Amino acid sequence: MSWYFRAIGFRKIFEFLLLVAFVVFFVGPLLNLAVLAFSSKWNYPDLLPRQWSLQWWHFVLQEDDIAKSIGLSFLIAALVTVLSIVICIPAAYAFARIRFPLSRFFLFSFLLTHAFPKMGLYVSIAVLFYKLGLMNTLLGVVLVHMINVLMFMTWIPTAAFRNVHTAQEESARDVGATPFRVFRSITLPMAMPGILVASIFTFLNSLDEAQGTFLVGIPDFKTMPIVMYSIIADFPSSAGAVFSIILTAPTIILLLAAQRLVSADIMASGFQVK
């Protein structure tokens, strides 16, 4: 046996072990979750559930509160994505094309919301929202969600716009396109992969947001993650598993759909401060 390992080489063995560890840590919990979601009785020493059932799926999908939260979550995520595109894409274009004083400082400032403990930030925002009457409103929740995604939505499209060479825009002007036409037909389509990636992240991030929503949106705006908390607290773990799968599904579907676009390069280029 030992000759076999020697022939493979230490490096290969190490890589294999690393892969196994990755699979166990990453896929293991998901698998466990999937099994849990379809079980009705599963006690400790058993490897598999004693009884399979769909009862928790029925429960979760029939609960009015839950169905409403799914709808609300997707509505908020869509609103957040659209609004941040409207706000961040022009900003990203400005960062990429216009030289203005302190531009690097401003670009860097988007990191600030990620530099402090979120809860502290949300509490101070909540105080502000209270004065402005934004507590327990859709707009308030959407704004809180947008705080989290400003960085993605600005940095990644900025890098995408920077990758459009000035000569490519100039040659379009040269053949007769107005500046607006150049942006519509040349710059925007070329930067689209980066913008799409950022948008998908924004959408997913908003679906997943719980802390800020909890503080600003309670009691009327219960999104999926918020409902999740109460389900985990009030019902057996199988109900939580079912709900997690519902919560994870959009992520997996969107990432698979965008697989062609989500390359490490696009992400990485967004985080290079030039």
Partner 1 sequence: MSVQLSIRNLTKRYKTGEGVTGISLDVKKGELVTLLGPSGCGKTTVLRSIGGFLEPDSGEIMIASKSVVKLPPEKRPTSMVFQGYNLWPHMSIYDNLAFGLKIRKTPKAEIKKAVEDALRLVRLPGVEKKFPSQLSGGQQQRIAVARSLLLKPEVLLLDEPFSALDAKLRHEMREELREIQTETGLTMVFVTHDQEEALSLSDRIIVMNQGNIEQIAAPQDIYDSPDTLFVAQFIGKMNFVEGVVEEDKLRVGGLVFPNTKRLAGSIVVAVRPEDVMIGPDSGEKDGLYGTIKQVMVLGHYAEVSVELDGYGPIRAFQPRDTVKELSLGQRVTVAFAKVIAYPNK
**Does position 261 bind partner 1 by CB under 8 A?**
no
**Of 156 and 224, CB closest to partner 1:** 156
Distance (Å, whole) CA 65 – CA 245: 17
**Of 32 and 178, CB closest to partner 1:** 178
Q: Where are the beta strands (DSSP E) in the chain?
A: 39-41, 51-52
Q: Residue 192 CB, nearest distance to partner 1 (Å)?
A: 8
Binding to partner 1 (CB under 8 A): which residues in 141-180? 165-168, 170-178
Stretch in the footprint of partner 1 (CB under 8 A) among 15-23, 106-114, 184-192, 229-237: 184-192
Distance (Å, whole) CA 212 – CA 203: 16
Distance (Å, whole) CA 166 – CA 68: 48
Q: Residue 185 CB, nearest distance to partner 1 (Å)?
A: 7
**Of 228 and 266, CB closest to partner 1:** 266
Distance (Å, whole) CA 151 – CA 115: 12
**Does position 186 bind partner 1 by CB under 8 A?**
yes
Given the structure tokens 């997707």, which residue do they identify?
Answer: 74
**Of 41 and 181, CB closest to partner 1:** 181
Amino acid at 167: A
Q: What would you report as the CA-atom Rg of the chain, rounded to the nearest whole angstrom?
A: 23
Q: Residue 81 CB, nearest distance to partner 1 (Å)?
A: 23
Binding to partner 1 (CB under 8 A): which residues in 232-251? none
**Of 71 and 179, CB closest to partner 1:** 179
Selected from 50, 58, 104, 181, the binder of partner 1 by CB under 8 A is: 181
Given the structure tokens 């519509």, which residue do they identify?
Answer: 184
Selected from 13, 24, 189, 263, the binder of partner 1 by CB under 8 A is: 189
User: How many residues touch partner 1 (CB under 8 A)?
Assistant: 19
User: Angle between the 188-208 and 237-257 helix axes, to the nearest 10 degrees?
Assistant: 180
**Of 41 and 165, CB closest to partner 1:** 165
Read out DSSP for 137-171?
Answer: SHHHHHHHHHHHHHHHHHHHHHHHHHTS-HHHHHH
Q: Residue 181 CB, nearest distance to partner 1 (Å)?
A: 7
**Of 53 and 185, CB closest to partner 1:** 185
Q: Residue 160 CB, nearest distance to partner 1 (Å)?
A: 12
Binding to partner 1 (CB under 8 A): which residues in 54-73? none
Say how far residue 252 (Cα) sits from the centre of its chain: 11
Distance (Å, whole) CA 85 – CA 201: 12
Helices and strands (DSSP H and E) totals, the chain: 14, 2
Give me the sign of the Cα torsion angle 54, 60, 61, 62: positive
**Does position 190 bind partner 1 by CB under 8 A?**
yes
Q: Residue 177 CB, nearest distance to partner 1 (Å)?
A: 6
What is the binding site for partner 1 (CB under 8 A)? 165-168, 170-178, 181, 185-186, 189-190, 192
